[in-house]
Amino acid sequence: MHLDHITLHTRDLACTRAFFPKVFGDLEERDRPKAIHRDPGHRLYAGDKPFVHLIVTRGNGRDTADETFDHFGIRLAGYKSFRARLQDLGIQHSTMDFPEIEERLLFSRAPSSPLLEAVARILANELAPIRVNVISPHLTDTEAHSGMNEEARNAMLDRAVSLLPLVQQAHRKTSHESLFAIDNPFVTGAVMDIDGGALIN
């Protein structure tokens, strides 16, 4: 397992494309998978190793900045076992396959998602004086998991609880009780992490 690449959104794609070889030396551009051709971009390699992926900024939503960090990629073996681990931990994820380059991708977010924080701040700035705040809960026992086998569901929730410093299960009421902070008229652009101490563990 190792860090594979970082992906950046940039408003000036040509300038950013020229920057990296100028600063880091001999970088080679390689073809991008067809599935992502709808968004202009580049993939730069250092020898046989991926280095940086660039995607053009559209100028709306999260893409309002001239340049933003999108994600970093980790290369690992054991796709099926790692996906099963995410499911066992109750971590939401999505998939994407690139058969032409023999890659299978899993996308997930850390509890302190930088994207979530960035969206909250961008919207708070754009919509001011309307206030925008976000609640970011840990895995919560709600009807969202009602379709799971009861034994698997309980095992998932128990596993999540065991990893928390507070060793407590989050319920819908847990998030509702955090609204006292969002109700404060002097709070905007904030992310409330209702996570049982997950971020300090």
State the pLDDT confidence band at 21, using cuts at 50, 70 and 90.
very high
Mean pLDDT of 86-95: 80
Between these two residues, 89 and 180, which has the higher pLDDT value?
89
Task: Report pLDDT for 172.
Answer: 66
Between these two residues, 63 and 71, which has the higher pLDDT value?
71
Mean pLDDT of 83-96: 82
State the pLDDT confidence band at 63, using cuts at 50, 70 and 90.
very low
pLDDT above 90: residue 34: no
Q: How far apart are CA 67 and CA 199, in angstroms?
A: 27
- Specify the range with the lowest mean pLDDT, choosing from 21-35, 43-57, 77-91, 138-152: 138-152
Output the pTM of the full model: 0.53
The region, left, alpha or beta by phi > 0 then psi within -120 to 50, assigned to residue 172 is: alpha
Task: Report pLDDT for 18.
Answer: 93
Q: How far apart are CA 68 and CA 90, in angstroms?
A: 28
- Phi and psi at 46, nearest 5°, equal -105, 100
Strand partners, 192: 135
State the pLDDT confidence band at 181, using cuts at 50, 70 and 90.
low
